[in-house]
Amino acid sequence: MRFGTDGIRGVANVELTADLALRLGRAAARVLGDGPAVVGGDTRRSTPMIEAALVAGLASEGVEVHRLGVTPTPAVAFHAARLGGFGAVVSASHNPFHDNGIKVFGRGGSKLSDDVEAAIAAGLDDLPAPDGPVGAVVDRTGFDDAYVEHVVGVLEGRRLGGLPVVIDAANGAASRLAEEVIGRADAEPHVIAASPDGTNINDRCGATHPEALAAEVVRTGAAAGLALDGDADRLIAVDETGRVVDGDHVMAICALDLHAQGRLRHDTVVVTVMTNLGFRLAMRAAGIELVETAVGDRYVLEALRAGGYSIGGEQSGHVVFPDHATTGDGLLTGLVLLDVLRRSGRPLSELAAAAMTSLPQVLVNVRVRERPADVDALLADEIGVAAARLGADGRVLVRSSGTEPLVRVMVEAPTRELATSVADGLAAAVVARLG
């Protein structure tokens, strides 16, 4: 198994086994050093098994391990930075419960570079027997307060004034903390999907299934809804009418607010190739530049660090504020959004509509036998015909998934009918070429 865009991921106990987790822990220790290491995970049934093996691998190489138990991915990154160590999270993010994964953070809580990941992957096989002292393993469940204070600190002392908010915790890693974070910011939280049983993580809930959240927002008359994913590093919002406010809209609202305050460094936002054309047009109209990266929050983070920018993210809801966090943080992003909402005095539906207008975007995932190394070159003729058909009013993107045997076809166009027609044609070409 190799690293994808967000660590390694696969079916638990089939592709991602305890043996692999043990070896990964040992290999990571040999590349990243003797710690300390911070380890946490989500609520999947397989997480304790994989976490135990990972921790054993780290400790067998002499690493001092701080175990956080069930905790959000950004909390692990925060504590790794606070302790000056590295970190690891056992989670498959938004995937169903039978999958699991391992993400590794470098020292300071930053995502690993390709070179470091390659070095760890190369060390997975033929590991020599451990020959040094065993590292200590310490449970650190008392670390919650520091993380909660850190997240609420993004408000810089402002309060949310009793704003009624519904939070969907996806039966995942933030199930225990979501109400405390939002409540401590002086909002009125109502939390759903916060009763994990090992198998219900992301099950018809969370950032990939915001339908129940939308219904609850309308039912309760809340000002907004916040949907997290299984490891709580992404956010999808819902406005007061029950309409979804995706990552592009969240980024647009926050970027325009920073711009208006003169706090958007270099008047630039970092986005991925998947960011909607409507976002690009809205930022251009506001005089805001874009830096574009490949899909994956790690690439967004690299560009943010390299350029010293204030905000970047993905349509999927990974939004990063590098002044406050080293990775995406759904709860932190939610507070930033609620703060803009509170200060503006406008409903979220109006804020989202004023920030940008999404062009119809159709995404088709085509399962293939093997991910092609250069799908653009393989389908150059078909992509050229599709782009010509759309002209300047649309956009085509065909790429291989970083984690699954899929080719993703994305088409934007003035109408959904045209976008669907072009996407279906390209998907058929992928099937014809790759099976």
Q: Any idea what the Cα angle at residue 60 is, between residues 54 and 66, rounded to 5°?
A: 55
Q: Please give the structure tokens belonging to residue 369.
A: 């036998």
pLDDT exceeds cutoff 90 at 16: yes
Query: Locate tokens 């822990």: which residue?
Result: 25
Instruction: Residues 8-144: name the CATH superfamily.
Output: Alpha-D-Glucose-1,6-Bisphosphate, subunit A, domain 3 (3.40.120.10)
> Do 280 and 243 touch, CB atoms closer than 8 A?
no
Domain with CATH 3.30.310.50 in the chain: 361-434
Burial class (CB in 10 A: 0-12, 13-18, 19+), 115: exposed
pLDDT exceeds cutoff 70 at 6: no
> Do 270 and 305 touch, CB atoms closer than 8 A?
no
- The CATH number of 361-434, from 3.30.1490.20, 3.40.710.10, 3.65.10.10, 3.30.310.50, is 3.30.310.50
The side-by-side arrangement of strands in the sheet containing 289-293 is: 289-293, 268-272, 312-313, 319-320
- What pLDDT sits at residue 60? 97
With pLDDT > 90 as the criterion, what percentage of the chain qualifies? 83
The residues facing 363 across adjacent strands are 410
With pLDDT > 70 as the criterion, what percentage of the chain qualifies? 98
At a CB cut-off of 8 Å and minimum separation 6, what does 140 contact?
38, 66, 67, 68, 79
Closest among 395, 381, 385 to 433, alpha carbons compared: 381
Catalytic residue among 93, 110, 175, 316: 93
Query: Torsions phi, psi of 33, nearest 5?
Result: 105, -170
Q: What is the DSSP string of 321-387?
A: -TTT-SS--HHHHHHHHHHHHHHHTS-HHHHHHHH--PPPEEEEEEE-SS--S-HHHHTHHHHHHHH
Identify which of 166-180, 377-391, 418-432 has the greatest average pLDDT.
166-180
> Do 62 and 34 touch, CB atoms closer than 8 A?
yes
Burial class (CB in 10 A: 0-12, 13-18, 19+), 195: exposed
> Do 59 and 26 touch, CB atoms closer than 8 A?
no
At a CB cut-off of 8 Å and minimum separation 6, what does 164 contact?
187, 188, 190, 220, 221, 222, 223
- What pLDDT sits at residue 399? 86
pLDDT exceeds cutoff 70 at 200: yes
Which of residues 433 and 195 earns the better pLDDT score?
195
pLDDT exceeds cutoff 60 at 363: yes
pLDDT exceeds cutoff 60 at 1: no
Tell me which H or E stretch contains 75: helix 73-83
pLDDT exceeds cutoff 70 at 297: yes
93 part of the active site: yes
Q: For 325-347, what is each residue's pLDDT tens digit?
A: 999 999 999 999 999 999 999 99
- Confirm whether pTM is higher than 0.85: yes
pLDDT exceeds cutoff 90 at 411: yes
Query: Locate tokens 């994305």: which residue?
Result: 410
Confidence of residue 69 (pLDDT cuts 50, 70, 90): very high
Query: Taking phi first (over 0 means left), then psi (-120 to 50 degrees means alpha), and beta for anything else, what does residue 294 get?
Result: beta
- What pLDDT sits at residue 331? 98
Q: For 24-61, what is each residue's pLDDT tens digit?
A: 999 999 999 987 999 999 999 999 999 999 999 999 99
Confidence of residue 412 (pLDDT cuts 50, 70, 90): very high
- The CATH number of 160-243, from 2.30.110.10, 3.40.120.10, 3.40.630.30, 3.40.50.720, is 3.40.120.10
Domain with CATH 3.40.120.10 in the chain: 8-144, 160-243, 247-355
Say yes or no: domain 247-355 is CATH 3.40.120.10.
yes
- What pLDDT sits at residue 372? 79
> Do 414 and 349 touch, CB atoms closer than 8 A?
no
The side-by-side arrangement of strands in the sheet containing 37-41 is: 8-11, 99-105, 86-90, 37-41, 65-70, 137-139
What number of residues does the chain have? 435
- What pLDDT sits at residue 4? 66
Average pLDDT, the chain: 94
